[in-house]
Amino acid sequence: MNKIGLYFSVIMMAACSQTPKSNQPETATPLAKALAAEDRTEADKTRDARSRPDVTLTMLDIGPGDVVFDVFAGGGYYSDLIARIVGEDGKVYLHNNQAYRNFVKDALSQRMAENNMPQLIQHDREVDDLDIQPNSLDAAMIIMSYHDLFYDDSENNWPQIDHQDFMQQIHQGLKPGARFLIVDHQANKGRGAQDTKSLHRIEKDYAIKRIEAIGFKLIAESAVLSNLEDDKNQSVFAPDIRGKTDRFIVVFQKL
């Protein structure tokens, strides 16, 4: 390259490196825009590093106009992001039963009080009737709560859930080919659902087997939330492991 060509190459490289991100919104994906939204709470932004929605929501493969069911959504961290992605032409149902509303306490009411997105819909339903219209959903997800389907904790207002009935409601609500994603705390190999109540963990292979039996096919998984230093022998709420457990991400497609 001659000196003149080299000079202009350097100038162009410098100009590109100095272009502010705000001048390039048309190149950002709906997910990237959602994550970068200035009106997201500081608590939600801090959680991003721990939950990696850049990975999970990419795997869920949702976009503008989609209808998504966020099962046991708690305080609505994921529902808020999904609402930004699907936009006003879409919908996200932020689901909780009474037990989960008791658990999250003020977090949900505060989010909904400040909500200015009509597509973010609080959907309070008990587990025996999720009130999902057949073939109406483009995607559904359960984050850190699939294991809750496998134990009876009636003393703390969490009765045993009929897994077959519950998952069939979700399956019937999804459109053919739609995706269903779960993230959960990994249990040790061979433990299946034995640690769901005591440690709030479930073995990934067991979860896959149970979900595929409903009429889903495993299509993707990620180890981005794995932590090999977690020995999986203590509760996920133990202070030294909370927020740092070995977690798995699996995505299914409705057959």
Whether 150 contacts 196, CB under 8 Å? yes
- Name the residue ranges covered by the structural domains of the chain: 1-27, 37-254
The residue among 102, 123, 127 whose CA lies nearest residue 112 is 123
The residue among 83, 162, 150 whose CA lies nearest residue 126 is 162
Q: What pLDDT is stored for residue 15 in this prediction?
A: 38
Report the CATH architecture of 37-254. 3-Layer(aba) Sandwich (3.40)
Whether 124 contacts 102, CB under 8 Å? no
- What is the 3 state secondary structure string of 10-77? HHHHHHHHCCCHHHCHHHCCHHHHHHHCCCCCHHHHHHHHHHCHHHHHHHHCCCCCCEEEEECCCCCH
pTM of the model: 0.88
Whether 215 contacts 182, CB under 8 Å? no
Edge-first strand order for the sheet with 137-143 is: 120-124, 91-96, 67-71, 137-143, 174-185, 247-254, 216-222
Q: Encoding tokens for residue 54?
A: 């850049």
Q: What is the pLDDT of residues 21-40, one digit of tens each?
A: 444 456 799 999 999 999 99
Q: What pLDDT is stored for residue 159 in this prediction?
A: 87
Whether 80 contacts 49, CB under 8 Å? no
Q: What pLDDT is stored for residue 100 in this prediction?
A: 93
- Which stretches of the chain drop beneath a pLDDT of 50? 1-24
